[in-house]
Amino acid sequence: MMRQAEITGNPMSDAPAVNTRGYLTRRRAVFVIAMLGIVLVLACVVALALGSEYVAPNEILVGLWAKLTGAASPLSPEHEVITFGLRLPRIALALGVGATLALAGAAFQALLRNPLADPYVLGVSGGAALGSIVALMFFSQVAFARPLLGFAGAVAATFVIYLFGRREDDPARLILAGVITATFLSSIIAVLTSVAENVKLRNITYWLLGDLSSGNTQGIVFIAVATLIGAVVLVTQARALNLMMVGERDAFALGVETARVRWLVFITASLLTGAAVSAGGAIGYVGLTVPHLVRLASGADNRLVIPASSLAGALLVLIADTIARTAFAPRELPTGAITALIGAPVFVYLLLKSR
User: Cβ distance 270 to 158 under 8 Å?
Assistant: yes
Q: Examine residue 14 and state whether it is found in any structural domain, yes or no.
A: no
16: CB partners within 8 A, 6+ apart: 7, 8, 9, 245, 246, 300
| 330 upstream amide cis, omega within 30 of 0 | yes
The candidate with the shortest Cα–Cα distance to 310, out of 32, 7, 120, is 32
Among 51, 28, 48, 29, residue whose Cα is nearest residue 40: 48
Residue 293 lies in a domain: yes
Residue 81 lies in a domain: yes
Output the pLDDT for position 355: 62
Residue-level pLDDT at 320: 92
Spatial CA neighbour of 274 closest among 135, 143, 140: 135
Is 15 within the bounds of a domain? no
Rounded CA separation 171/252 (Å) = 15
CA–CA distance, 152 with 154 (Å, rounded to integer): 5
Predicted pLDDT of residue 19: 43
Following CA atoms 228, 49, 321, 95 in sequence, which dihedral angle do they give, to the nearest 10 degrees? 0
Between CA 177 and CA 123 the distance in angstroms is 8
The verdict on residue 196 lying in a domain is yes
Tell me the pLDDT tens digit for each residue of 249-284: 777 777 778 778 888 888 898 888 888 888 888 888
pLDDT, tens digit, 9 for 90 and up, residues 14-61: 444 334 345 678 888 889 999 999 999 999 999 988 887 888 888 888
Query: Which pLDDT score is estimated for 168?
Result: 55
Domain count, the chain: 1
Can you state the percent helix, strand and coil of the chain, rounding each to 5? Answer: 75, 0, 25
Would residue 330 count as lying in a domain? Answer: yes
Query: Torsion angle, CA of 58/59/61/62, rounded to 10 degrees?
Result: 120
Structural domain harbouring 201: 28-354
CATH number of the domain encompassing residue 202: 1.10.3470.10
- The pTM of the full predicted model, rounded to 2 decimals, is 0.84
191: region left, alpha or beta (phi > 0 left; psi from -120 to 50 alpha): alpha
CA distance 346 to 331: 26
In a domain, 9, yes or no: no
Given a cut of 50, the residues of the chain with pLDDT beneath it are: 1-21
Q: Is residue 19 part of a domain?
A: no
Q: What is the pLDDT of residue 318?
A: 94
The Cα 289–Cα 353 span in angstroms is 14
